[in-house]
Structure 1
Amino acid sequence: MSLINTTIKPFKATAYHNGKFVDVSNESIAGKWSIFVFYPADFTFVCPTELEDLAEQYAEFQKIGAEIYSVSTDTHFSHKAWHDTSEAIGKVQYPMIADPTQVLARNFEVLIEEEGMALRGTFVVNPEGQIKVMEVHDNGIGRVASELLRKVKAAQYIAAHPGEVCPAKWEEGAKTLTPSLDLVGKI
């Protein structure tokens, strides 16, 4: 069964954010667009390239009212140490959630049980707590922040414009489609 359109399960976690340890929960994210970016582990190889890419696009996500939460099964102490020692991770200004109990990784169905780490999973959650976008893939394949930003904008657009859909390669401001009998066979 897909997690699309399901409501996220309750959780409480600690994150490293802007030099502090902060609490994050399903209640604290309610009412805003949230992006959960799971990755295998701190102090690894593909992970810092992805988190740095997100950090470089973070202002664009903030402009559209979306908060990014990176998540791994490491502790919040490990997140702080990585942030303090890595040039790439030092750029991160979004919350880095610690999931050492693996609750979030299990809730989002990305936990590799035998390794105790998460797959690369990306989830866009709407203000009502429903998962609207999900992407899970092999840990050797890095993600692209600009494509994630496009997907969040598309999810926000269709949420604000019921009955419309965003076609392939849709970018903000481009034409959308309104499915109807008149459109059948004309695309």
Structure 2
Amino acid sequence: MQIQRAFQTGSTSTKIAVALCIISATAFFVTRSLGDPQSKADAMLSIGKQIGDANIQLHNDTGCFASKPAVLFDKATASIAANNFCNRPLDGSWKGPYMAPFPIKSDGNLVANDISAEVTAALPNSINMNGRKKFFIRFNNVPKGVLKQALIECNGDNENQGDFQFDRCRTTVNLADDLPGDFEIVYSSI
């Protein structure tokens, strides 16, 4: 009888341990699927890389960088001169699509639903720094937790706003408050 009770006690402990493991794993995957700041920062950096790589390929084919993200996947948008920094139609030399399509807002900015429905990506004009033009992507209205995590992943530090003179990513918002802000990534320097 005693041997059987010991076995039953051990069996119950094993069942409890297995149940706790299953609950822990489920909680982990639910948290990831709900979008913790790290997975959203990863998504933002991935979208930024897609846009940057696509714009570099467009530049290689046409000699121009897009000023509207839709140019990278829509030939009709590429045919409008105002949608690139050369200010000329690109439809003759456009060999895209250069990336998968994303939803576009009426202002021409890309909607980054993987981060948040409020986050958009734009292609602002380049900035001149040390005699070089730096082309970058600007994500607007990024939640602060995502922004800080992206700064860590991109620059190795979330206490510093970043500076394009030294870093690939930056923000101009106050990192001490909880308000959303802009996040920028350099994709080309010529």
Q: Do both share a fold (TM > 0.5)?
A: no
Greater share of residues in helix: 2
Task: Kindly indicate which of the two structures has a greater share of residues assigned to strand.
Answer: 1
TM-score computed with the length of structure 1 as normaliser: 0.22
Give 1 or 2 for the bigger CA radius of gyration. Answer: 2
TM-score, with normalisation over the residues of structure 2?
0.22
